[in-house]
Structure 1
Amino acid sequence: MASFVIVTEDGSCSEGEEMSFPELNVGRVHLESYRHEGDYVVLHFESGTEMAIPESRIQHIVTREQVA
């Protein structure tokens, strides 16, 4: 189960979700984490792929602590 969901004006994405970036010749990669960097939220996917979203487009971020 995902430990975070990022909701934007255009929809949402959650930990583990798959995306592809054909313009970079990157096939399916999973969303692993995110971080705040200046005025952006940077999504980190496996294989070192990152996507920055302006904070102004973020509606909210929902997180849940992982309980062992």
Structure 2
Amino acid sequence: MASFVIVTEDGSYREGREASFPELNVDPVRLESYSHEGDYVVLHYEGGIKKAIPECRVQHIAYRKQVA
């Protein structure tokens, strides 16, 4: 079960969902986490792949608090 979903003007990004980056010659990799860096929400994928989305395009972020 995903612990976060980021909804943008263009769609959504869910933890664990795979994405391809053919321009980087990268096979599908899973979304692991995200962070806020300046005016961007940065998606962190397996293998050190990052995708920065301008914060102004993010409509909302839903997340489940992890209980230890």
For normalisation by structure 2, the TM-score amounts to 0.96
In 1, the alpha carbon distance for the partners of 2:14 and 2:56 equals 18
Q: 1:65: how far off?
A: 1.4
The TM-score, its normalising length taken from structure 1, stands at 0.96
Counterpart residue number, 1:15: 15
Q: Give the structure 1 partner of residue 27 of structure 2.
A: 27
Taking the aligned partners of 1:13 and 1:35, their CA distance within structure 2 comes to: 13
Instruction: Output the aligned Cα RMSD.
Output: 0.8
Deviation per residue, 1:4-40 (Å, 9 max, x gap): 0000001101100000000000011000000000000
Segments of structure 1 that go 5 or more residues without pairing to the other structure are none
Structure 1 runs of 4+ aligned residues shifted over 4 Å read none
Question: Could you tell me which amino acid in structure 2 is paired with residue 37 of structure 1?
Answer: E
- Same amino acid, percent of matched pairs: 74
- Please, which runs of 5 or more residues in structure 2 have no aligned partner? none
Q: How many residues align?
A: 68
